[in-house]
Amino acid sequence: MLGFLVYMISIVDNLCGLFIAVNILVGIYIIFMVVLEIVGCCLLAGGNKYDIESGEGIKRAVVSEKKRIKIASIILTLSILCSVLIPSSKAIVAIYLVPKIVANEDVRSIPGNTAKLFNKKLLEWMEEVGLEQIIEKKVDKNGK
């Protein structure tokens, strides 16, 4: 299960890229179909020979184009939603791992231990250099 989860986290960015590519392709398709429909309507309004010979076939073609545009619009909408709502791999790692790290007691003790170590080393260095007396004099002068 853990291996599958790691795999899914690693490919989620590729899935978002795939949805973006689908958005671009379907958007181009919709624009192309709308332009074709506009051009077809302009030709029909101009008295094209197809209008006289088989008006019923043209009506079916226009309805078919409208259905294609509607389906492409639905696909575009769903693809945009997926590309926006799917979190990146960094966000998934943050959602999944950060609570586990914060809940770990060993990790919680690191800042306190680090501060203690730093204070201990700082005092040792100050004793070696003799800065402790200088700092105490400055503190006394400032009244702190």
State the Cα–Cα distance between residues 65 and 29, nearest whole angstrom: 11
Residue 87, exposed/middle/buried by CB under 10 A (0-12, 13-18, 19+)? middle
State the Cα–Cα distance between residues 96 and 12, nearest whole angstrom: 14
State the Cα–Cα distance between residues 142 and 3, nearest whole angstrom: 60
Most confident of 1-5, 91-95, 124-128: 91-95
Closest CA to 76 of 45, 31, 125: 31
Range in 25-29, 63-67, 81-85, 128-132 with the lowest mean pLDDT? 128-132
Q: Is the full-model pTM beyond 0.75?
A: no
Determine what percent of the chain is predicted with pLDDT higher than 90.
Answer: 6
Are the CB atoms for 78 and 86 separated by under 8 Å? no
Per-residue pLDDT band at 52 (split at 50, 70, 90): very low
Whether the pLDDT of residue 57 is over 90: the answer is: no
The structure tokens listed for 88 are 């990146």
The structure tokens listed for 139 are 């503190």
Per-residue pLDDT band at 132 (split at 50, 70, 90): low
Expressed in angstroms, the distance from the first to the final Cα of the chain is 58
Whether the pLDDT of residue 49 is over 60: the answer is: no
